[in-house]
Amino acid sequence: MLTIKRVPTLVSNYQEDVLEGNVMGCGRKCLGKCCMPVSVLPLYAFKNDDNEPIENDIQTLPEEECQMSFLNNLLLGLWEERMSQGLFRYDVTTCETKVIPGRCGFIAQLNEGRHLKKRPTEFCIDKVLQPFDENKFNFTKVGQEEVLFRFEPSTDYKPHYFSGMRVNGGISPSIVAINVSPIEYGHVLLIPRVLDCLPQRIDRDSFAIALHFAREVADPFFRVGYNSLGAFATINHLHFQAYYLSVPFPVEKAPIQKILARKGLGGAGVIVSKLLNYPVRGFAFEGGNGSTARDLSDAVVNSCISLQNKNIPFNILIAQCGKKIFLLPQCYAEKQALGVVDQELLDTQVNPAVWEISGHIVLKRTKDYNDASEEYAWKLLSEVSLSEERFEEVKGYISEADGLQAEEDKNINPEKEIPDSPGPQVASHMPPDCLVRLLLAFDMVTILQPPGDVFSSTNVSTCR
């Protein structure tokens, strides 16, 4: 069995206590079965229509139609409120961030606080599928003050918001909570069916919730990510992560070439492309004309389940409000355990999970941040990537899992797709028209409603 000394990222203020030993009793409001059935939490009920067509790209919509969604406002307002309450381990908005000069425009952040107060642990990295272990830290231990709201499907195909709703004892709610060690502004965790104690693996229902989350927030600066075990997930309790970044991830700008496709009724289907001229070999999933959110979700899930069963670690980035999904198989932890990674890269202590692979590299030392270059980023991410031979094997697994046919686009010039970035610049921690700025003009009461108020966004215009 391959093992490696792992320093876990702390995502909850209660994680360290659990690592020290078993805690007798609760003594506080948590997300466990002891407290949830008698709890009252905010509830956002999302529009549950998987058969809705995936519309044109968000950039094609008129500016007047791209208003901030209610959920976007809600998430930002509640996240800011938790920051004012001092629930985060550091102020992420003070972390230096820059775009590295070069062709790809990799983003570097200096985040010295994120690696502090960690405790070493033995982490098995050679098994993507591992059973849930209630004796290790899991999200049922999280205090309810870290929760922003429940995220559940509505029953009438319309989104609704309830500022206080009792948790039904017969269900396992999905939770959106803060990450107390944030990488960026608005960094949250989506924990599907928290009481079911699902291990970190993709399943059809949970991935659909994550895709709905990206679609419902409806902000192109908000991306949802996933790390499998073996691909730098640090907690074996099913969760997704998400945050705002007001510049494109380099992987979003990378050229792609169509390699697989599945045609449905009326020409609708799913298109799978491969990344070109990017240090990590990966796949991009998009819906064809007339395809639905369910078509796209099912294609990605089928592929992930196949990789899980074949013990291939991977990361997922849900971008463009759920219209484009990147599936990125990787082998860095395997190489690390085998001792074949350059010591210079190991010294930076960068664990290339979904955000790093997508081009947002979190650095822990001032020297590494000052010296960050495109050459370094390319060298790091190249170690993450599968070989061409292994990538072709994975392509075959995906084709088989989804019933896809080879359909290669020969008319592509990878050298033209990524323009040179214009040199060093600071990437904002907040998207344009972010709530932090809006709050200068609007009172917080417009976002945080008093208990008992109900919101129905049947006529809210969003970027979809």
Strands 147-153 and 121-124: unpaired
Phi-psi region of 333 (alpha: psi -120 to 50; beta: other; left: phi over 0): alpha
| Contact present, 200 and 308 (Cβ < 8 Å) | no
The dihedral of CA 70, 75, 80, 81: what is its sign? Answer: positive
Selected catalytic residue, list 187, 237, 239, 429: 239
Residues making up the chain, counted from first to last? 464
List CB contacts of 351: < 8 A, sequence separation 6 or more.
Answer: 232
d(Cα 363, Cα 367) in Å, to the nearest integer? 9
The dihedral of CA 14, 15, 16, 21: what is its sign? Answer: positive
Catalytic site residue 160? no
β-partners of residue 325 are 285, 318
Among the listed residues 359, 336, 159, 340, the one whose alpha carbon sits nearest the alpha carbon of residue 231: 336
For residue 207, the surrounding DSSP H or E stretch is helix 204-217
d(Cα 93, Cα 397) in Å, to the nearest integer? 41
Which 3 state secondary structure label does DSSP give 332?
Answer: helix
List CB contacts of 343: < 8 A, sequence separation 6 or more.
Answer: none
Which 3 state secondary structure label does DSSP give 307?
Answer: helix
> Which phi and psi angles does 240 have, rounded to 5°?
-115, 160
d(Cα 161, Cα 154) in Å, to the nearest integer? 10
Residue 385 CB neighbours (<10 A): 22
Catalytic site positions: 239
